[in-house]
Structure 1
Amino acid sequence: MNIVLQNLTRFGDLLQSQPAVSELAAAGNVVSLACLENFAGAAGLLADVSDVFPLPGAKFLASLDADWKLALTAVADFADTVAARTRPDCVINLTAALSARLLARRLCGEAVRGFSLDPFGYRHESNLWASFLEASSSRRELCPFNIVDVFRKTAGVGQGPGRFALGRPSAAAVEEAAALFAGAGPGDDRLVVGFQLGASAAARQWPVERFARLAARLHEKRGILAVVVGAASEKPLAARFREIFDGPCLDLSGATSLPTLAAVVARLGLLVTNDTGTLHLAAGLGVPSVALFLATAQPFDTGPYLEGCLCLEPDMACHPCSFQEACPRDHACLDAIDPEAVAEAVLAWSQDGRFPPGDYSGARAWLSARDAEGFMDLVSLSGHEATPRAVWLRCQRHVLRQFLDDAPHVSPAAPLPPLPEAERQELLRLLSQSADLLRLVEGQAGLAARSQTMKNRFLSSHNRVTALWSASPYLATLAQLWQRQAQEEAADIDGFVARIRRYEACVAAFAAILRV
């Protein structure tokens, strides 16, 4: 089968498509990739891709300002070129934006997995995992799955462990990286540590002074070569780092193309980074990392898809922040994680290749590892596995995977840590209300077509479910799924009732876990 995988988002998200691409190719499919033009260099890093089609989004927007008819023609020409060269049997669209849905449908009609449009122009998702991918994007703090695994499931694969192995850097990129290291090369026993100082927003960026203190401690105890990587816009951060850190430092900020950056990262022994695309580049190249997740970033959904990496987040009740609210604490989380504690963990890792359990001052520390089903998971190193957020993420991970797979709900193999009693009782009350409302909606569904009065009652009850779940920090993602599915046409009343019963089973499964 000829497949066009479409991912019109950022550098990191594009790289995280790799496991889905590899599974599709391993099944005998020929996979081409459509991506934004400014990330075409990143697309070249992906393995198992037969062709890459860079979409000139900026050019399309510019032509739209001049003449919308010319812009429409340009998009149609792009789609025709992709279709002529690939003859796609299927498009897999991992981008929820309307423009991406339109392009996917233009390429392959109704043969689209992931995000598309129905024949009437309404939003359509091919499976519930795709709906979850979009629903969880607005409440990332509640997402219990690594986005790589969600991409895999959205693409219709994801059976067993994912394999995140980017293509090896080209000979030219390797040669260019070697030239950059010439004269600053490490000795035989010197650890090469990369530092990615920037992030997508200042609020998600560990202070440069803390990176520098970490580097100084590592150099004092172990002897390191610090390699600073990043975009040209991050040069001021690199300059500040060099002012503070007086050890050997190779500043490559703004000095590499994406292929050369990959070759540089491949030479590292360890990468210390914020939640960035470089983190996922390292994971795809098999380079271990220490990743810091600040503000809205949290490691359960955007952590590295590589076992044995250390993920750190502030040990603060307000973390992770909501995307919908401004920080009321002046971004105190930026200073929460102690660089001395990070240094001690890295020094221990440098001895035996393992990050140790223990006290990570100011941080919740997690080690990336696979679960029994092959999904990427996190294991607490700092004793935070029984905190309410971690327990609820674990509950969601168990119940939602079965719900999204449309599989029968079974109990966990071992009891999960309990929530605090007050929270457990509040959540059980909420789930009991949910069960009552869902039964009411189910009963009213068959009567809604009989009169306007019954239809109004049905819609009112349906909206009450949405409101109940939306107001809860525990069930807000379920509310998003409920709303999105309500916008899709059911085949018949039996299909609609079956959908409601699926939510009833999900609510019952949550309640059963909490009662243990």
Structure 2
Amino acid sequence: MEKFLVLQAARFGDLVQSKRLVLTLQTQGQVHLAVDESLETLARLLYPDAVIHPLFLHGHDEARAMAANRPAFAALRALRPDAVYNCNFSGLTGAICRLFAPERVIGYRPAPASEGGLLRSPWARLAFQLSRGRRPSPLNLVDFWAWFAPSPLAPERVNPVARPGGQGLGVALAGREARRSLPSPVLASVIQTLSGLLGGPRIVLLGSAAERPAAHRLLRLLPPRMTRQVEDLSGKTDWRGLADAVTGLDVLVTPDTGVMHLAAHLGVPTLAFFLSSAWCHETGPYGLGHSVWQACPACAPCLESAPCPRNVACLDAFRDEHFPRLLARAWAAPDAGAAPALPAGLQCWQSGLDALGATLRLSAGEDADGRLRRSARALLAEWLGLPPGAVADAAPDTPETAGELRRLRELLLPDSEWMLPQGRYA
């Protein structure tokens, strides 16, 4: 039996978004998954058939972390894996990859010692180039990692179709990046609207201990009749408790968070709000049955690390007094053409799937980048060798589209790389 090592050194959401890659490799052999030790329990919950290798990767002094990791590194080297999938463009995971023969490393591998740095595989290089223009980005992160492996698992086999489970309304209070999250007054308005649409359900507040103040602010903004329905679990759950709390919810209201990806993993419908640096075509909920509201002013998506010169203007559409009515109408009529007209700078999307992976269908609003995104998606499908028609939302086959694809090809990759299959070749 073949053995595969997956290195996923990033955070909560990234670990969940590795699912298509991990499940693909499990159909071919035994998967070993190396993660930060803080995520060990979560990794075991998500991937019970994988062998988990906890490492000290975050929040540790480098010298002490290296010393603590020596036994784990020796165990990884002793595995002698047939292939190592490095999911992170990171010097840390690059150093771990030096434990193995370079030709066994897929995704990101160390350059020769004389050069330093990391090398991207052709697939990673292509996806990186496309992502530099983020607005027409056509590729979900789940699928980016999945296509490191040849013939990844069909996308419909990754997550269950999301359906209401009768356990009420969940609320992910905030994400790790504050600017991506709805402020308490806006979130309170959204919750009141949805509570009315759902007939006054149980409401579960979810978050870490850092979100407790946000929970308290939110409770002060909700009417007393609703607060009696609220169960505040912020800071009160471990990984298993969080999964139990999310399981069976009717819907999860969330920014771009790890809890959103956990809900999709469990088949719970998500109603996601993306703004600031969060872009739904890159990290939206994976699978069928999810909705995303995307703020899309001309400056979006931005860099979270850079100060906003417009006082987070992407929040304006959600702060508008008419937004609760728009939300209610879109909830009642999610199909394109039936949903309400939206103000400029706001879109509503419904999740979908095709042979490439996750895609989004615009149900309300305008998408000025749609044509280029469809062309880029067709380019990815061609490069991966997918059959004609496999990508549902590819741009129509016209001379204009053919010329656009030709220009994208010439810009992004030299001719020689179009002769190589998929991203297995580094």
Please tell me the TM-score bracket, short chain as reference.
0.7 to 0.9
Please state which structure has a larger fraction of its residues in helix: 1
Residue in 1 that maps onto 2:359 = 377
Residue in 1 that maps onto 2:72 = 78
8 Å Cα contact 2:253/2:272 also seen in 1: yes
When residues 325 and 391 of structure 1 are mapped into structure 2, their CA distance, relative to the original with a 3 A threshold, is farther
Residue in 2 that maps onto 1:35 = 35
Instruction: Give the secondary structure class of the aligned counterpart of 1:336.
Output: helix
What TM-score, normalized by structure 2, do the two folds share? 0.82
8 Å Cα contact 2:24/2:153 also seen in 1: no
Please tell me whether Structure 1 or Structure 2 has the larger radius of gyration of its CA atoms. 1
Distance in 1 between residues matched to 2:93 and 2:363, nearest whole Å: 40
Residue in 1 that maps onto 2:243 = 262
Query: Could you tell me how far 1:335 is from its partner in structure 2?
Result: 2.8
Query: Could you tell me how far 1:88 is from its partner in structure 2?
Result: 2.0
Residue in 2 that maps onto 1:288 = 269
Higher relative contact order (CA 8 A, sep 6+): 2
Query: Could you tell me how far 1:42 is from its partner in structure 2?
Result: 2.0
Residue in 2 that maps onto 1:62 = 61
When residues 324 and 392 of structure 1 are mapped into structure 2, their CA distance, relative to the original with a 3 A threshold, is farther
Is the aligned partner of 1:192 residue 2:168?
A: yes
Residue in 2 that maps onto 1:398 = 378
Distance in 1 between residues matched to 2:157 and 2:393, nearest whole Å: 27
Residue in 2 that maps onto 1:52 = 52
Query: Could you tell me how far 1:216 is from its partner in structure 2?
Result: 1.8
Q: Runs of 5+ in structure 1 lacking a partner? A: 65-69, 167-188, 419-423, 439-468, 470-477, 483-495, 504-516
Q: How many residues align?
A: 402
When residues 346 and 232 of structure 1 are mapped into structure 2, their CA distance, relative to the original with a 3 A threshold, is farther
Is the aligned partner of 1:237 residue 2:236?
A: no
When residues 48 and 134 of structure 1 are mapped into structure 2, their CA distance, relative to the original with a 3 A threshold, is farther
Distance in 2 between residues matched to 1:191 and 1:41, nearest whole Å: 24
Distance in 2 between residues matched to 1:280 and 1:375, nearest whole Å: 15
**Match for residue 82 of structure 2 among 86, 89, 92:** 89
**Match for residue 325 of structure 2 among 302, 323, 340:** 340
Question: Please, which moves more after superposition, 334-343 or 192-201?
Answer: 334-343
Residue in 2 that maps onto 1:184 = none
Name the aligned partner's letter for residue 245 of structure 1: L
Q: Deviations over 1:417-441 (max 9, x none)?
A: 89xxxxx99xx89987x99xx7xxx
Q: Percent identity between the aligned chains?
A: 29
When residues 410 and 191 of structure 1 are mapped into structure 2, their CA distance, relative to the original with a 3 A threshold, is closer
8 Å Cα contact 1:113/1:156 also seen in 2: no
Is the aligned partner of 1:368 residue 2:345?
A: no
Q: Deviations over 1:271-311 (max 9, x none)?
A: 01001001100000000111011011111110111212111
- TM alignment of 1:202-221, pairs within 5 A: 202-221=178-197
Is the aligned partner of 1:19 residue 2:20?
A: yes
- TM alignment of 1:153-172, pairs within 5 A: 153-158=147-152, 160-161=154-155, 163-165=157-159
8 Å Cα contact 1:3/1:92 also seen in 2: yes
What TM-score, normalized by structure 1, do the two folds share? 0.69
Distance in 2 between residues matched to 1:429 and 1:2, nearest whole Å: 41
- TM alignment of 1:135-154, pairs within 5 A: 135=129, 139-154=133-148
Residue in 1 that maps onto 2:6 = 5
Instruction: Give the secondary structure class of the aligned counterpart of 1:106.
Output: coil
Instruction: Give the secondary structure class of the aligned counterpart of 1:34.
Output: strand
Distance in 2 between residues matched to 1:411 and 1:199, nearest whole Å: 34
Distance in 1 between residues matched to 2:287 and 2:388, nearest whole Å: 29
8 Å Cα contact 2:156/2:353 also seen in 1: no
Instruction: Give the secondary structure class of the aligned counterpart of 1:45.
Output: helix
Name the aligned partner's letter for residue 321 of structure 1: C
Query: Could you tell me how far 1:58 is from its partner in structure 2?
Result: 4.3
Query: Could you tell me how far 1:258 is from its partner in structure 2?
Result: 1.3
Q: Deviations over 1:394-447 (max 9, x none)?
A: 1111113323x26799999998489xxxxx99xx89987x99xx7xxxxxxxxx
Distance in 2 between residues matched to 1:329 and 1:62, nearest whole Å: 37
Query: Could you tell me how far 1:195 is from its partner in structure 2?
Result: 0.7
Query: Could you tell me how far 1:224 is from its partner in structure 2?
Result: 1.6
